[in-house]
Amino acid sequence: MDFELNETQLAVVDGINKICADFPDSYWLEKDNKHEFPHDFAQAVCDGGYFGIMMPEEYGGAGLGYTEAALMMQAIAESGACMAGCTSIHVNIFMPGAIRKHASPEQKERWISRLMTLQDRAAFCVTEPGAGIDTTHITTRAEWNAERQRYLISGQKVWISVAQQANKIMVLARTTPLEKTSRPADGLSLFYTDLDRDYVDVQLIDKMGRHAVDSNAVFFDGLPVRKEDLIGEEGRGLEYLFSSLNAERILAAAECVGMGRAALRRASDYARERVVFDRPIGKNQAIQHPLAANWCQLEAANLMMLKAAWLYDNGKSCGVEANAAKWLAAEAGFDACQQAIMTHGGMGYAKEYHVERYLRELQILRIGPIPPPLMLSFIAERQLGMPKSY
Ligand SMILES: Cc1cc2nc3c(=O)[nH]c(=O)nc-3n(C[C@H](O)[C@H](O)[C@H](O)COP(=O)(O)OP(=O)(O)OC[C@H]3O[C@@H](n4cnc5c(N)ncnc54)[C@H](O)[C@@H]3O)c2cc1C
């Protein structure tokens, strides 16, 4: 068993760390305060060639695996960029997973290099207010209009990241009504198309954190979509999405560990420097022990994340491990951020010490892309043999 990162993996982390060094905590605090999208950061990562980390070499990508991609996102989160940094580039890098696996060669030719070079910026539109995590019950529909030779998409999505910036969307919509399918998961189709604001209204959601990257309610009113923009076969969209869910959980786990480590680094620095009762607060075991426990939890979660990534990259089943990694990492990261605030005392509540921002951003990955009860239900069912509970 080899726990060392290989040369390529070390080079990815090193290269990303060098880029992130130009975007310190003060940059992210300012972006958060001003609600400004971090365009220069996204451009720097793109210019470094990292948008193609997992794209096939024939399309100009590096052809690496999810292990390398997860290490890259972890390094970004760990730099203090947190979810603002990660989600400013997420969709362009990872959404093509569905494109890479299920799009036609003509579509790949049309789409991949524009995403990798940031000529296109994409938003990922799945969640709906009426369906929640039960994606089979989405009601956004795409109806084929024979006269116009277009699908017309109508409906509503919610919580869609970067839709203020995007000119492209990947959208899941019903092409066959639920009552006419033999299984609820059938009859949903996946499209990658232009975000034409004549037919799509994007409304900003005021939220708790990650103010640098917008979240939106998105309303579709007959968006016309060419057949050429349907990914794979009509009716199999959910199957295509589900095929990348484990990868999404692995990335989320890596990012949670990164944010937790950033919080722990700040907490340990503060504990060494802050003197109260004539001694550094870090000399007290009541300060040391919770932080040491945070470290243990984060590193254990990281090992599970790396195991899940290794299984995924080697074509092995990894559903249980990917869910376990995401659950462990989100809880460990949250605990570390919370403990970092407590270690700072009153200063933990001040924005200039950054740990409150880390906590606000980590909370996103406790909620999504899948919340804790559903991951635990999955593990109970698949690993422990209990009946399906949802
Ligand atoms: C900042 C942010 C960015 C996001 N970006 C995107 C994006 O770009 N694109 C996109 O499509 N979505 C996005 N999302 C949506 C996110 O993926 C969802 O919020 C998440 O999947 C949870 O769905 P929901 O909010 O509808 O919760 P609901 O489904 O309404 O669930 C509410 C609560 O009930 C619990 N629950 C539900 N069913 C059960 C059950 N059977 N047993 C126990 N508990 C249950 C859930 O765990 C949850 O805690 C984003 C969300 C946030 C907050």
Opening angle at CA 38, ends 37 and 40, nearest 5: 135
Average pLDDT across the chain, whole number: 96
From the alpha carbon of 210, which atom of ligand 1 is closest?
Answer: 1
The residues, ordered by sequence, that sit 6+ positions from 379 with a Cβ below 8 Å of its Cβ are: 320, 323, 324, 327
Q: What is the pLDDT of residue 94?
A: 86
**Same fold: 7-116 with 244-382:** no
pLDDT tens column, 251-274: 999 999 999 999 999 999 999 999
Note the residue count of the chain: 390
298 burial (CB, 10 Å; 0-12 / 13-18 / 19+) is: buried
197 and 123 Cβ atoms separated by less than 8 Å: no
Site residues for ligand 1, CB cut-off 6 Å: 124-127, 132-133, 159-161, 210, 215, 364, 367-371, 373-374, 390
- Which residue, among 27, 53, 56, has the nearest Cα to 39 in the 3D structure? 27
Average pLDDT over residues 311-316: 95
Domain 244-382 falls under CATH 1.20.120.790 = no
Ligand 1: centre distance to CA 131 (Å)? 9
Residues 6+ away with beta carbon under 8 Å from 132: none
CATH number for the domain formed by residue range(s) 122-233: 2.40.110.10
128 C-alpha to center of ligand 1: Å?
9
CA of 274 to the centre of ligand 1 (A): 39
Q: Is the pLDDT of residue 193 over 80?
A: yes
Q: With b meaning 16 or more CB within 10 Å and e meaning fewer, what string describes 131-143?
A: beeebeebebbbe
* Alpha carbon separation from 327 to 35, 368, 386 (Å, rounded): 29, 11, 19
CB 309 within 8 A of CB 9: no
Q: Tell me, what's the pLDDT at 284?
A: 98
The pLDDT tens digits of the residues spanning 271-292 come to: 999 999 999 999 999 999 999 9
C-alpha pair distances (Å), 333 with each of 137, 259, 320: 31, 6, 20
Question: What is the predicted pLDDT for the residue at 98?
Answer: 85
Is residue 99 scored above 80 in pLDDT?
Answer: yes
Query: In testing the pocket of ligand 1, which one of 121, 125, 159 has its CB within 8 Å of the most ligand atoms?
Result: 159
Mean of the pLDDT values across residues 94-106?
A: 88
Going by alpha carbons, the residue nearest to atom 37 of ligand 1 is 133
Nearest by Cα to 66 from 321, 272, 271, 268: 321
Domain 7-116, CATH class in plain words: mainly alpha
Q: Provide the token pair at 309.
A: 């990534």
Residue nearest to atom 19 of ligand 1 (CA): 368
Q: Give the closest residue (by CA) to ligand 1 atom 53.
A: 364
- Compute the average pLDDT of residues 213-236: 98
Q: How much distance in Å is there from the Cα of 295 to the middle of ligand 1?
A: 28
- How many beta carbons lie within 10 A of that of residue 215, not counting itself? 19
**Closest CA relative to residue 211, chosen from 361, 90, 42:** 361
pLDDT of residue 243: 84
Q: Residue 66's pLDDT is what?
A: 94
Cα(154) to ligand 1 centroid in Å equals 21
Provide mean pLDDT across the span 310-339.
97
Q: Ligand 1 centre and the CA of 319: distance in Å?
A: 19
pLDDT of residue 244: 85
Domain ranges for the chain, please list them: 7-116, 122-233, 244-382
Atom of ligand 1 nearest to the CA of 369: 17
Q: What are all long-range contacts of 177-183, with beta carbons under 8 Å and residues at least 24 apart?
A: 177/141, 178/136, 178/137, 181/235
- β pairing state of 200-204 and 279-280: unpaired
